[in-house]
Structure 1
């Protein structure tokens, strides 16, 4: 009888578990995405969005382990479900447990096919968090085109977020989302970098089952010596022409968007996101004459571990470590696909003043932050 009782309790527990996890809807045959077109607004650097057919599938991407963010996602999703009957709410498989009781109308893809399904059906992405959440959303579309992105500042940093000041308290989301659905929003084009890793003989680099195929990154490609005690020797070529060989902690290849990330900490310049360029910034080079380079966005940059190097280099894409490059192996980096971000239009200058305290003296900083 004890055995039977335990079996019944165990069976009931497994039943409850299955029932709990099934509250988020399984992935049906949702309609394919409606690829929008973009046209520049005359006299501005921003663009308008035009849907060929109404959007149907919206992917929500959130910051993890934050109750305020979770509550905002629930409020937003419930509003969309009530106000837009033809719109489907999509969630990542990794956050299903966070919403198993609150959003029974949401859809979530099978984990093994999530990335390919995103490319097929997602019309727009809405992020809830900080800059890291936007970068994570970009990584979900690293092998394909990125749908338009609407980002709400609910995290730590907000340099990539268009509504850092105006919607900090998440109060105007209904108006902004309606403008996205109806095509009334203004969008800022942020370029991405496309990169791939190769062996000495030019074949694709692989480590077991893993290979760095053509991948798009939003901020930067970083080659760094990592835990190696020695500096890394890197050969740099631009458009198949040898530029120099450097001994340094590493190199950063960044987009204009990424110019205010790791690159600025390494001494790189600040570049407006609308400038068509690629930025090359050395990390602690063993030369006072190696300065950051601003290159045309049409450039193809090759970074190769020199045969003279005493150490390897770790490849980091938008803050995610991917693999180690050894002697003779190399990366090729060029312009990739763009990300179209909903924009207010003036946030870049606001962020320079508000987040970077641009050209603000110590006395002025103290006054504005309440130190006096």
Structure 2
């Protein structure tokens, strides 16, 4: 057996998660797996008959983590387990589901096939970033999708000086900028008119959010580089800013603060049933199959 100990992590805010979670646990047990449930998931949905574990305990004990929820749940689990090399498989109990790619009605068949050894694995890159003020690191964090610098509250546009490996790239005034992994290219970056990157690319994506100068365009750079974005001022305009590491925010940035971003050393391994295709996901989620009808027909 490829995965002897399996953890289940759920979006416990969802009503009705208890029944499919218990059914999945039963499927795993029948396959001979030792099953554990993430502690908050078990507490909030009322699962008392299965062993519960913290994320640290899951990292130390589990061979596989099954995520039941939406992409946000998958991202949170990836961040919490990034240091433990536990592979993740996503069952969509949310809305769109780009990275929780298994439909809930196909969960038992798909997971059983994976447990039997029929699966594909791919490693997804992470970002690590830090906020620096006067040489002191104020905050650091990691992100699976993106690190976003944006204006705070109702303030005006923020100004950023952007450097790549200490080489000046450009200045920009905008509502913000998104620094994305290939995984995150189908999230906020896509909504801000960024390109879609294949998840196997070794690249970072910069996408401006509502830039003042329309010539500011998304840029793809090697992920072996370090990006440095410094909040600057222009004339009498000065704005604060927030930095978001996926779902974690630092909201006390000031003019002169610098945000350093690079690819993290750790990766996250995603497990998919055999036959998975990134392009199939795009066709299903973005309606790539739809061809505009001829108005004359």
Common topology (TM > 0.5)? yes
d(CA) in 1 for partners of 2:114 and 2:36? 13
Aligned to 1:326: 254
* 1:99 corresponds to which of 14, 33, 46: 46
Structure 1 position 226 matched with structure 2 position 152? yes
**Contact 2:18 2:47 (8 Å CA) reproduced:** no
Q: Deviations over 1:168-211 (max 9, x none)?
A: 443414523423xx5x421122111111221122x211xxxxxx
Q: Secondary structure at the match of 1:236?
A: strand
* 1:170 corresponds to which of 107, 112, 124: 107
**Contact 1:162 1:347 (8 Å CA) reproduced:** no
Aligned to 1:66: 14
**Contact 2:65 2:89 (8 Å CA) reproduced:** yes
Q: Deviations over 1:134-175 (max 9, x none)?
A: 112113235x244111111222111113324xx644341452
The answer to which structure, 1 or 2, has the higher relative contact order (CA under 8 A, 6+ apart) is 2
**Contact 2:157 2:175 (8 Å CA) reproduced:** yes
Q: What TM-score comes out, normalization by structure 2 length?
A: 0.88
**Contact 2:11 2:41 (8 Å CA) reproduced:** no
Q: Quote the offset at 1:266 in angstroms.
A: 0.8
d(CA) in 2 for partners of 1:312 and 1:57? 47
Q: Secondary structure at the match of 1:170?
A: helix
**Contact 1:305 1:330 (8 Å CA) reproduced:** yes
* Greater share of residues in strand: 2
Aligned to 1:358: 288
Structure 1 position 136 matched with structure 2 position 73? no
Q: Which ranges of 4 or more aligned residues in structure 1 deviate by more than 4 Å?
A: none
Pairwise CA RMSD: 2.4
Structure 1 position 196 matched with structure 2 position 130? yes
Describe how 1:86-125 pairs up with structure 2 within 5 A. 87-93=34-40, 95-101=42-48, 104-109=49-54, 115-125=55-65
Where structure 2 has 5 or more consecutive residues not aligned to the other structure, the ranges are none
Q: Quote the offset at 1:97 in angstroms.
A: 3.8
Q: Secondary structure at the match of 2:78?
A: helix
**Contact 1:191 1:339 (8 Å CA) reproduced:** yes
Q: What TM-score comes out, normalization by structure 1 length?
A: 0.71
Describe how 1:30-41 pairs up with structure 2 within 5 A. none
d(CA) in 1 for partners of 2:53 and 2:198? 36
Describe how 1:230-245 pairs up with structure 2 within 5 A. 230-245=156-171
Structure 1 position 338 matched with structure 2 position 278? no
**Contact 2:17 2:45 (8 Å CA) reproduced:** no
Where structure 1 has 5 or more consecutive residues not aligned to the other structure, the ranges are 1-50, 110-114, 206-211, 365-372
Q: Quote the offset at 1:83 in angstroms.
A: 3.7
Aligned to 1:12: none
Aligned to 2:279: 349
Describe how 1:9-28 pairs up with structure 2 within 5 A. none
Q: Quote the offset at 1:352 in angstroms.
A: 1.8
Cα distance change on mapping 1:174 and 1:299 into 2, 3 Å? closer
